[in-house]
Amino acid sequence: MAISRVKGTRDFSPEDMKKRRYVEGVMRSVFESYGYEEILTPTFEYLELFLKKSGEEVLKHAYIFKDKSGKDLILRPEVTTPVIRFYVSNLRNRPHPLRLYYITNCFRYEEPQAGRYREFWQAGVEIIGTNSPEAMAELIIMADDVLKRLNIKHYEIRIGNVEVLKNLLSDVDDRIRSKILRHIDKGEIEKLKEYDINYEKILSIITFSGGRNELEEIAGKDMLLLMDYLDDAGVRYKVDFSIVRGLDYYSGIVFEIHNNKLGAQKQICGGGVYSLGELFGFDIKACGFAFGLDRVILSAERENVLPEVSERRFMLFLFDKKYYKKALEILRIVRKYYKCEMEIMRKKIKKSLEYANSKGIDFFIIVGEEIEKGYITIKDLKRNVQEEVPIENFEEYIKNL
């Protein structure tokens, strides 16, 4: 029995990686076009970093271990907290706002399921220095932009504010409050009656469907402003105060994006205003979001919107190793413009052509005795024609293919 993969992890084939790199590439180019810069933090951190603010749920499912010196370490279950650590220790004297992004793997020990893995990828952004409605608008517009550029259609943006419920429950014990919030998140409205709280008020908020005035009263001006910005941007969204983010550090306006083409794990993006600064003794205004990269890829697959990217590919076949040096020269020229591989299995030309054909290679370059007269044979496998090209015209010839 061969050694198998660890549960909840995946191997990615060349085909998988093409899809992943494509989706990542779209995210990267959108993020960068908004002026965000890429960073990366370590795969593991001291456990301490995540103890205070990530919340029980995240820690319960974390990979926690000791290193050889007995220090408690954790594989990052999310990236926002490490980014803030990085910020506090090294980036604080940069001009604000800081716009940062990352695309990297995270780890949680949970039961694997459709769209849920123990090693998964997050593509996230953070704005440090402000949590203004303008900043939140930028985030949501940008997230929407990414999905639009990927041609994903079946998504829904929901906007809420965790402060509203937290304020309403401010005099409730911490533990009870998180229980109540969990009921709200799950839609277990009936259970709320069991608690000593303003049931009617909470119910009216989580089932909110009123107009601007009421909304302003409940959520404040910022929420209204954000909604105006999103309207101007043509971003469609729903207001939903029952959104309770799983991470405890969220502290204001939050949003989630779901794709209803997905199974049980529908959420493809989540974010909002958070307060992590107090962890380091500062008041840092910040907000951000993260895409679940795997789920976005899954969405793109389900909606069948991944483009077929075709690129010209070459292969060089060498008849005699005495022309190896010539072949290298030719390869150097071809590789300035195209992908070109070389035959290295000592195959006969027939087998080599079979290989090239089954790999979908477009042009087959043959280096044989004609090289002595200064000619290179180029065979167009798709059109089944071949030509002998003088070596001095070779570069010009392939450039114009």
Partner RNA sequence: GCCGGGGUAGGGUAGUGGUCAUCCUGCGGGACUGUGGAUCCCGCGAGCCGGGUUCAAAUCCCGGCCCCGGCCCCA
Q: Which two tokens stand for residue 117?
A: 């893995």
Question: Least distance to RNA from the beta carbon of 312, Å?
Answer: 14
In terms of CB distance, is 135 or 244 closer to RNA?
244
In terms of CB distance, is 218 or 290 closer to RNA?
290
Cα-based angle 193, 199, 200 (whole degrees, multiple of 5): 130
Q: Which two tokens stand for residue 356?
A: 């090239």
In terms of CB distance, is 215 or 314 closer to RNA?
314
Question: Least distance to RNA from the beta carbon of 157, Å?
Answer: 12
Q: How far apart are the two ends of the chain, measured CA to CA in Å?
A: 49
**Cβ(134)–Cβ(287) under 8 Å?**
no
In terms of CB distance, is 41 or 386 closer to RNA?
386
**Cβ(187)–Cβ(242) under 8 Å?**
yes
Beta strands 72-75 and 385-390: pairing type?
unpaired
36 sits in which H/E element: none
Question: Least distance to RNA from the beta carbon of 136, Å?
Answer: 17
In terms of CB distance, is 215 or 327 closer to RNA?
327
Question: Least distance to RNA from the beta carbon of 323, Å?
Answer: 9
239 sits in which H/E element: strand 238-239
In terms of CB distance, is 178 or 204 closer to RNA?
178
Question: Least distance to RNA from the beta carbon of 76, Å?
Answer: 12
Chain length of the chain: 401
Rounded CA separation 70/67 (Å): 5
Longest dimension (CA), the chain: 95
In the block, tokens 């694997």 appear at 112
Question: Least distance to RNA from the beta carbon of 31, Å?
Answer: 16
Question: Least distance to RNA from the beta carbon of 375, Å?
Answer: 9
In the block, tokens 């399921």 appear at 113
In terms of CB distance, is 93 or 358 closer to RNA?
358
Rounded CA separation 274/361 (Å): 50
In terms of CB distance, is 151 or 357 closer to RNA?
357
Q: Which two tokens stand for residue 195?
A: 């608690």
Binding site for RNA (CB under 7 A): 1, 4-5, 7-9, 55, 57-58, 61, 78, 108, 110-118, 120, 122, 182, 185-186, 244-247, 256, 263-270, 290, 292, 294-295, 319, 345-351, 353-358, 366, 368-370, 377, 379-384, 386
In terms of CB distance, is 193 or 346 closer to RNA?
346
Question: Least distance to RNA from the beta carbon of 367, Å?
Answer: 8
30 sits in which H/E element: helix 14-33
Question: Least distance to RNA from the beta carbon of 169, Å?
Answer: 16
E strand segments, 129-180: 155-161
Three-class secondary structure of residue 125 per DSSP: strand
Residue type, position 190, single letter? E
E strand segments, 260-295: 267-274, 286-292
**Cβ(102)–Cβ(52) under 8 Å?**
no
Question: Least distance to RNA from the beta carbon of 325, Å?
Answer: 16
- Helical packing angle, 293-302 and 14-33, nearest 10°: 110
In terms of CB distance, is 32 or 380 closer to RNA?
380
Question: Least distance to RNA from the beta carbon of 359, Å?
Answer: 8
Rounded CA separation 356/378 (Å): 13
In terms of CB distance, is 119 or 216 closer to RNA?
119
CA dihedral over 182, 186, 187, 191, signed as positive or negative: negative
